[in-house]
Amino acid sequence: MNRRDFLKTTTVLSAAGAVTGLPRLASAAADRWRIFEVTTRAEVFKPKGASRVWLPVPLTQDTPYQKDLGSVWSAEGGTPLATTDAKYGAGIVFAEFGEGAGTPSLTVVSRFATRDRAVDLSQPANPALRMDRAARSFHTAGTEFIPVDGIVRTTARDIVKNTKGGDIERARAVYEWVVENTFRDPQTRGCGWGDIKTMLETGNFGGKCGDLNAMFVGLTRSLGIPARDVYGLRVAASARGYRSLGVGSSNVTRAQHCRAEFWADGYGWIPVDPADVRKVILEEEQPKLLTLEDERVKRARTTLFGAWEMNWLAYNYAHDLALPKSAFGRVPYFMYPTGETAEGRLDSLDPDTFKYTITAREVSVA
């Protein structure tokens, strides 16, 4: 069993304050830290030649809403390696298996703490807070699937043409446009790939979180406002009464979910999730389809501009990621277990073919 060198001692499970930078659990529910454990196991059933498996781990840099408590891993028949992507800081556990390794498998167990996140938009928390030029350039740049020119920029400018105010007001206009104009398409595989240029060119605004929140990020970036996707996994039921915005069991193999955030000087990163508003419309009361006028939808729409319920694990912010030693190009994002053999990349969106399971449990804290 290998240990990532930033692994914290398991005594944190009985004393949250023992971890450097991790506050003790607050009595108020809104400020309460919850500790979870997620176990991911991936297997290659039909290896051909060398096989490789990559698994994501929680954000490698702590935030006000998530703290990494460390990961451990094992690889049956292979050599595991933990690394961090230089561009995005994405944490990756990787294992390579030689020919004849039997059934290659990689298991990662990660522990992390979360607490609900909300930004007060009535006034800046720190009026002097600014993003430097290099970071602003990085967070407004286009990616392969999320360009910031052409039809993306034209659409964004049209959305905000009558908007008065600064970056928050313009980002809100984009958020409202995404909520109003997109829809959650249950036929989309996985979370979608976020090809927003094609969506805009074809006029097909259907998809899932990887598409709809990418639309927010691309449109917002094209206006010169820093924005990013945050790729992750739902790990618990919603405490806010939304059946569709949580998970109902410990098996979270298909519970991947990406969110988005944008930057405003004086406020910092502001969380949003227009895709989850559309998820409430489609899934909250199946088979009935809700409308934007339903009170539950209105409540979600208001809340999800500026707040996240943290029954969710954030993995990374990576786009167009080059996985170490991969022979088959970059991945658009890194939210799913990924594997390949000499014959090609395995289908990360089909855990029944590329066999993987993910389980989550909340750890009790004294």
Question: For 343-353, how does the pLDDT look when each residue is reduced to its tens digit (9 = 90+)?
Answer: 999 999 887 77
Grade residue 160 by pLDDT with cuts at 50, 70 and 90. very high
pLDDT score of 140 more than 70: yes
Residues 6+ apart with CB under 8 A from 329: none
CA atoms of 206 and 199, how far apart (whole Å): 8
Q: For residue 121, how many other CB atoms are within 10 A of its CB?
A: 14
What is the radius of gyration, based on Cα positions, of the chain? 20
Q: Does domain 117-309 have CATH number 3.10.620.30?
A: yes
Average pLDDT over residues 25-50: 81
Question: Residue 130 is encoded by which pair of tokens?
Answer: 């600014």
Per-residue pLDDT at 18 exceeds 50 = no
Taking the domains of the chain in order of start, what are their residue ranges?
2-115+321-363, 117-309
Rounded to the nearest 10 degrees, how much is the dihedral formed by the CA atoms of 43, 362, 89, 11?
-110
Mean pLDDT, the chain, integer: 90
- CA quadruple 210, 212, 218, 221: dihedral sign: negative
Asked whether residue 364 carries a pLDDT value surpassing 70, the answer given is no
pLDDT score of 4: 47
pLDDT mean over 70-92: 94
Average pLDDT of span 334-339 = 97
**pLDDT value at 116 more than 90:** yes
- Tens of pLDDT, residues 309-329: 999 999 999 999 999 999 999
Question: What is the distance, to the nearest Å, from the Cα of residue 243 to the centroid of all Cα atoms in its chain?
Answer: 19
pLDDT tens string 245-263: 999 999 999 999 999 999 9
Amino acid letter, 198: T
Q: What confidence category does residue 306 fall into, taking pLDDT thresholds of 50, 70 and 90?
A: very high
196-230 pLDDT tens trace:
999 999 999 999 999 999 999 999 999 999 999 99
User: What stretches of the chain show up as alpha helix (H) in DSSP?
Assistant: 133-138, 150-160, 167-181, 196-202, 209-222, 274-283, 295-303
